[in-house]
Amino acid sequence: MSKRIAGPEIERLIQLLAKLPGLGPRSARRAALHLVKKKDQLLIPLAGAFAEAADKVRICSTCGNVDTSEPCTICTDPRRDGTTLVVVEDVSDLWALERAAVLNARYHVLGGTLSPLDGIGPDDLNIAGLVSRVAKGEVTEVVLAVNATVEGQTTAHYITDQLAGLNVKVTRLAHGVPVGGELDYLDEGTLAAAMRSRTAF
Ligand SMILES: [Zn+2]
């Protein structure tokens, strides 16, 4: 058994930090040491920010986004185009698309993908909420911005079927050559998809 080098409070801090994505035990120790050394500048303000966020974080009942207001900031922003709805698997995908800043649309977060092997069916995802949002009539286009995985595409097909009776255009992201990508390095599946979705130059 390894010798303990710090009190239980610091050990607990290290254990919790190590659960964060991108932080292993080694970087968690470094982060914890940095925090306790910078108690006034970092540890205390961060503890306050954590407590406040923990108190206020909600899941938006309209779109499934995570925010400190309900409905969320995106759903209540009057400058966003309410006729285009972008469907994503996770909030991280929403943030990624917002960073790309191509559409000024609203979102719908599914909370995962259909995966029969893992026991995840339509009722485990926010799909019924999507259908009822679209059924209200304001949305004219649903963009399926799901991952280019088997589960993502299965989910996209299922949603397309569910929306079939409604008067809405359903689109999906193009699959193909990444910006800055070299053809020689791409896998055959990506190349084939890029060739199938070729556009006029
Ligand atoms: Zn929302």
Structure tokens at 56: 């206020």
pLDDT for position 200: 87
Distance (Å) of CA 23 to CA 27, 28, 32, 48, 122: 6, 6, 11, 22, 33
CA-to-CA distance for 30 and 105, rounded, in angstroms?
A: 40
What's the average model confidence in pLDDT over 141-169? Answer: 94
What is the spatial distance between Cα 170 and Cα 160, in angstroms, rounded to a whole number?
Answer: 7
The CA–CA distances, whole Å, from 118 to 93, 115, 158, 183, 190 equal: 21, 5, 17, 34, 26
96 C-alpha to ligand 1 centroid (Å): 16
CA distances from 25 to 13, 14, 31, 36, 98 (A): 11, 7, 10, 16, 31
Rounded distance from Cα 141 to ligand 1 centre (Å): 17
Distance of CA 99 from the midpoint of ligand 1 (Å): 17
**Ligand 1 geometric centre to CA of 77 (Å):** 10
Give 181 Cα–ligand 1 centroid separation in angstroms.
34
CA of 130 to the centre of ligand 1 (A): 12
Banded model confidence at residue 69, pLDDT cuts 50, 70, 90: very high
Q: In angstroms, what is the span from residue 117 Cα to ligand 1's centroid?
A: 30
Instruction: Render pLDDT for 165-181 as a digit per residue (tens, 0 to 9).
Output: 899 999 999 888 888 88
Q: Please name every residue paired with 141 in a beta bridge, in sequence order, or none if there are none.
A: 84, 169
The pTM of this model reads 0.83
